[in-house]
Structure 1
Amino acid sequence: MDTRQEAATVSRTGSRTPTFPFTALVGADELTSALLLSAISPEIGGVLVRGEKGTAKSTAVRALASVLPEQRVASECRFGCDPDRDEDCPDGPHEGAATTRPARLVELPVGATEDRVVGSLDLRRALGDGEAAYQPGLLAEAHRGILYVDEVNLLHDHLVDVLLDAAAMGRNTVERDGVSISHPARITLVGTMNPEEGELRPQLLDRFGLTVHVAASRDPHVRAEVVRRRLEADLDPAGFAARFADAEAELTARLAVAREAVRRVALDERTLRTIARVCAGFDVDGMRADIVTARAAAAHAAWEGRDHVTREDIRAAALLSLPHRRRRAPFDAPGLDEDLLDRLLDEEPEDDPPGGGEEEPDGGDQPDEGPGEAPDADPSGPAPSSTSSDDQPQTGPQSSADPTPDSPDESAEAPESPPSPPAGAQPTPTGTAAATEPYRARRLELTGVGAGPTGRRSPALTPRGRVVGTHPAGHEPAGSPVHLTATLRASAARRAARTGPARVTGDDLRHAVTRGREANLVLLAVDASGSMAARKRMAEVKTAVLSLLLDAYQRRDRVGLVTFRGTGAELALPPTSSVDAAAARLAEMPHGGRTPLAEGLTEIARVVARERIRDRNQRALVVLVTDGRATAGPDALARAQAIADAWGHTAETVVVDCESGRFRMGLAADLAHRMGAEHIALEQVAASGLVEIVTDRTASRRSAA
């Protein structure tokens, strides 16, 4: 391994263990394509890698840094600027000596604060010298390199916004704590995530330039080769890296050439109209998809050594830039119909209507091809990656990619249920019912003030929010921001009392107490028994629960699903951040049989107690959807009432009453009273239903007056 490559593998902790070579990756063609395109043109806006656990997502990102070309940097610049380029740097102009260094890979931990990311006031200089100096953050360190965020879906939304803004603008602007500064931050942003742990919101998905879904190969030969190379790398890291050193050096040289060539790639009018037709054909929102696709197509052309964009460049770019932009509703799955993509690419511009009509610019310079002259698919695309040769693996952008495993036309609604039995058939004890379109649910929140993770549901003391007080030095919770005004007041009061030094000291520090909203554990407990089994009624119940899931998604909650029917209860979905998984389990939920209400309440209490041990700060909201009947086991109703009486402070609960018909027994209302829970009818789950109730009551009071 040469000196440059060895230096590139040095991590932030100082380890010199060689990284797994980028060219040694097997079965990850689409992933390596996206990473290389983003490295060629950072203006694309970064890459989001979605995939199941154990699919080498992190390995590929860390390996990319070792093949990036070396950089010339200004010696005295805190931001690592290019001395040959005017970057409007606060440390400029750069007229001194320059040095050469490998491209940086900066990893952002999930628990990072905004101060650490964007930079903040240098407290040492502020307290010692009274100077409002800027301390650069991770965005400054990652300038001209890679900023890698593992588990980006678990990062706070405001931090994701900050990162995506910097990736799109190429600059980081800080206006806080007496600091006003703007510095270059041209980063290649790469985020990885496991969808099982929760999805990114559609507005954040759209901000990533490219996305790729990674899944483990089902080909035994490919899987065996992956295992073989991993074992070899673990047994002899240096020897394995040396084996691929030539391929790595060749890839680095090709990257450097492509980075220079991408500026000269031509995007003519016909190409831009083709890209616009493709994006419009997939009905994506906004214009970001068109811009990203154009940049990615130019990068692909530069990688292939062309000075103009071809059909295959557009196809390769669209496969990476459009799938995640098809996701509009929270429960939509990303995906792309490749047959539709090919039809849009082969579609010819319409002729001008006879007798005039809207003219197309430069139409005469681009003669249309005949109907039989459409270009063949994949005329020059390289072959898929092969694992037959260990020394020459195929790595790089591909003109074709494996089909996206997610269906492009899946809707936010639950999957279709199995067909119902024909008329006159013997009824079965179980069945399924499909939910309809979810609606906006009424707001349910916990009483009191919590201290859980930041969210949008219940009042809590959080790291961000409205300042309601201060903590003295040494008593502040982790992550609480410094309250500058209170700190200066404490210092002034101490000096007035003539105690201690005349400057601000650590004992003068005051930290803000901020009040905002927290995310909660929302445990949905659904009665799926025969008393709820009327198909129309169960469809209404599932729609209400799906609407509550949508509300939990918007409020950043964790969700769990308990169902009870027949003779017992089960935890259908352990508490998770993935409301998509909860929606899928809800769609599959059968119904029918007796009503084991006591067993359901016992399972709910067990889940809440277990989650409280795991995180004492996260409060639980139980939403119990039932008609209150209990028919399973001896003395079923009495056992259920006894458990409800002993519910105590297990969790705050809302009982959604599903009883219907003219004559009602009121069992759910009695259950809610025994549990000290709020009682609402199923029809009141919708926010519009609540508005109608309030409106009717107001009108009645006015008429009575």
Structure 2
Amino acid sequence: MEGSSGGGERRFDPKGSVDPKILSLKLKRRHRYGSGRHIKSFSRKGRYIKYRLAKNTSDIALGATLRAAAIHQKRRREKYKNKNLALYIEKEDLREKIREKKISSYILFVVDTSGSMGALRRMELAKGAIRSLLVDAYQKRNRVGMIVFRKDSADLILPFTSSVELAEKSLRDVPTGGRTPLSKAFLKAYETFEKELRKNPNIIPIMVFISDFKPNVAIKNDFIKEIYEICEKIHEKGINTIFIDTEPKTFIKLGIGEELAKKFGFKYYKIDEIKLDDLLKEI
């Protein structure tokens, strides 16, 4: 999965694999710290691991509160008129529980299978990259889904699942050919995550978008305008987005993927120029 070049630089293997650390990006959504990790919970769910000064009284750590109050009992008995209380507790004694729970990443692969991807081994490279990332997702017990787009539609061929086998089968069976409905693909991906986030707002949403970013089909009229409007929604939703651009180096280069990534802060990689050292900077 890793190769080397003259300057000791670790590069993506163009035969069809990519270092899974591509997914180790700085996550946008608040309180989400990593794939399949234990994080501090801001609710009453999860395992109690420690305590802190109480900001609210919905989940009090009783033992810690009593210990904090114990050292002040002599002074408080002298202070208060009611001498019959067994224990004097003040607001400054209150401690609340800090809980820990596990969250998972939901990784949605959005794969361009149009005719332009079928040329120059681009589809082969894309499938190799996805297979490598699927292995990483399986090891971290993350869930994966897949959208493919070609001709006039973008279809969710694999709803989110923990089965890497299903994902690999879906990848093997996708046909190629036809036009590139890029705006429909972005819209389908946005709607898919919006639905999941309504059901479970604590997931880490990661979109891996693999395309040459050469649209030629619109939802209504102007596909460029549509793409920018939908990407704005993706950005506002806090969906962590990674572009893997398969556009070849030619004299006629649109560069839409790179332009979108710069405008909305998405992570961007050329499929044949991915450097492991660059990816590690995102950890």
- TM-score normalized by the length of structure 1: 0.31
1:691 and 2:281 equivalent? no
1:628 and 2:213 equivalent? yes
Q: Which has the higher strand share?
A: 2
After superposition, residues 208-607 of structure 1 pair within 5 angstroms as 438=17, 440-442=19-21, 443-447=24-28, 449-450=30-31, 455-456=36-37, 460-462=39-41, 463=46, 469=52, 471=54, 474-476=57-59, 486-493=64-71, 495-496=73-74, 497-498=76-77, 500-502=85-87, 510-513=95-98, 518-534=103-119, 536-607=121-192
Change (3 A) 1:591 1:445: farther
Query: 2:260 corresponds to which letter in structure 1?
Result: L
Cα shift at 1:487 = 3.8
Q: Share of identical aligned residues, percent?
A: 29
- Aligned-residue Cα RMSD (Å) equals 3.7
Helix, strand or coil: the match of 1:639? Answer: helix
Within 2, Cα distance between the matches of 1:648 and 1:454?
20
1:678 and 2:267 equivalent? yes
Within 2, Cα distance between the matches of 1:641 and 1:531?
22
Within 1, Cα distance between the matches of 2:130 and 2:216?
23
Within 1, Cα distance between the matches of 2:120 and 2:105?
31
Residue aligning to 2:231:
644
- Contact residue 531 and residue 592 of structure 1 kept, 8 A: yes
Helix, strand or coil: the match of 1:446? Answer: coil
Cα shift at 1:579 = 2.9
Unaligned 5+ runs, structure 2: 1-13
Within 2, Cα distance between the matches of 1:585 and 1:684?
26
Cα shift at 1:598 = 0.8
Query: 1:562 corresponds to which letter in structure 2?
Result: I
- Contact residue 630 and residue 640 of structure 1 kept, 8 A: no
Helix, strand or coil: the match of 2:145? Answer: strand
Change (3 A) 1:495 1:556: farther
- Contact residue 594 and residue 632 of structure 1 kept, 8 A: yes
Change (3 A) 1:656 1:470: farther
Residue aligning to 1:669:
258
Residue aligning to 2:7:
none
Residue aligning to 1:62:
none
Within 2, Cα distance between the matches of 1:483 and 1:665?
62
- TM-score normalized by the length of structure 2: 0.72
Within 2, Cα distance between the matches of 1:692 and 1:655?
14
- Contact residue 657 and residue 682 of structure 1 kept, 8 A: yes
Cα shift at 1:441 = 1.2
Residue aligning to 2:243:
655
The total of aligned residue pairs comes to: 248
Within 2, Cα distance between the matches of 1:451 and 1:690?
23
Query: 1:691 corresponds to which letter in structure 2?
Result: D
Cα shift at 1:474 = 4.2
- Contact residue 465 and residue 516 of structure 1 kept, 8 A: no
Cα shift at 1:590 = 1.9
Within 1, Cα distance between the matches of 2:227 and 2:206?
20
Unaligned 5+ runs, structure 1: 1-434, 696-705
Cα shift at 1:665 = 2.6
Change (3 A) 1:476 1:451: farther
Cα shift at 1:676 = 3.4
- Give 1 or 2 for the bigger CA radius of gyration: 1
More contact order relative to length (CA 8 Å, sep ≥ 6): 2
Change (3 A) 1:550 1:470: farther
Query: 1:495 corresponds to which letter in structure 2?
Result: Q
